[in-house]
């Protein structure tokens, strides 16, 4: 009888230990379940919402150009329109990049050479090839981005020349989604246009703007 009683006590002890272990495991599992439930209720970030969109990601720039001349000096110019493909949305990831080139007359000293839209950003090879520095033929702009569908301005005032450069793309604070068939507009304000090349100055320029990002293409 003593051996049987000892066996029963040991069995009850093992059962009690097993119950304690299972209780701890259930408590831990409940905590994990609560975390999962809270995660499910959490509002997803902009990036997470974009990542949920099905489709293949392809790097892409939305590009556009517009011509201007000295009559645009000090004026808000015509917009550059960017049409998003019907094949899928476009995600803009960096600030726009803007450059310009003299486009008339054909005999202009720096004809066709890309130049910055404000003094201070060097393109030494082009400056050397043109035989000039960037104290000539200057264009300085402010800019706005507008959602053409809703006529909503992305900011309340034109932004000074805070732009990406070919050698330094500036990330946006959040990626910006443009839906298929949407049209975005880039409005330049020509703060100063200076066509003063001592040799043959331009009479017209072409402003080129690129919106860096990627497309989401339906498979």
pLDDT in tens, the chain (219 residues): 556 667 667 776 777 778 788 888 888 777 777 666 666 666 778 888 888 889 999 999 999 999 999 999 999 999 999 999 998 999 999 999 999 999 999 999 889 999 888 765 655 545 544 555 556 788 999 999 998 876 678 888 888 888 998 888 999 999 999 999 999 999 999 999 999 887 899 999 999 999 999 999 986
Tokens for 162, please give them: 């805070």
Phi, psi at 81, each rounded to 5°: -100, 135
- Nearest partner of 158 among 180, 187, 129, 120, judged by Cα: 187
- According to DSSP, the β-strands at 183-194 and 138-147 are antiparallel
CA 57/CA 71 separation, integer angstroms: 42
């Amino acid at each position: 009888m003593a051996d049987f009683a000892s066996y029963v006590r040991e069995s009850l002890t093992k059962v009690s230990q097993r119950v304690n272990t299972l209780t701890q495991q259930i408590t831990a599992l409940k905590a994990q379940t609560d975390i999962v439930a809270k995660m499910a209720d959490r509002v997803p970030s902009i990036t997470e919402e974009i990542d949920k969109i099905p489709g293949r990601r392809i790097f892409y720039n939305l590009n556009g150009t517009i011509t201007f001349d000295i009559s645009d000096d000090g004026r808000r110019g015509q917009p550059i329109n960017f049409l998003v493909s019907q094949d899928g949305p476009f995600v803009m990831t960096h600030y726009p990049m803007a450059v310009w080139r003299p486009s008339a007359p054909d005999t202009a000293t720096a004809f066709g050479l890309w130049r910055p839209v404000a003094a201070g950003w060097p393109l030494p090879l082009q400056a050397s090839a043109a035989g000039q520095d960037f104290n000539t033929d200057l264009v300085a702009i402010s800019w706005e981005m507008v959602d053409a569908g809703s006529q909503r301005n992305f900011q309340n005032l034109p932004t000074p020349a805070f732009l990406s450069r070919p050698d330094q793309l500036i990330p946006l604070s959040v990626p910006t989604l443009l839906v298929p068939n949407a049209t975005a507009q880039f409005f330049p304000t020509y703060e100063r246009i200076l066509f003063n090349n001592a040799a043959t100055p331009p009479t017209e320029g072409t402003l080129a703007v690129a919106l860096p990002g990627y497309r989401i293409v339906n498979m």
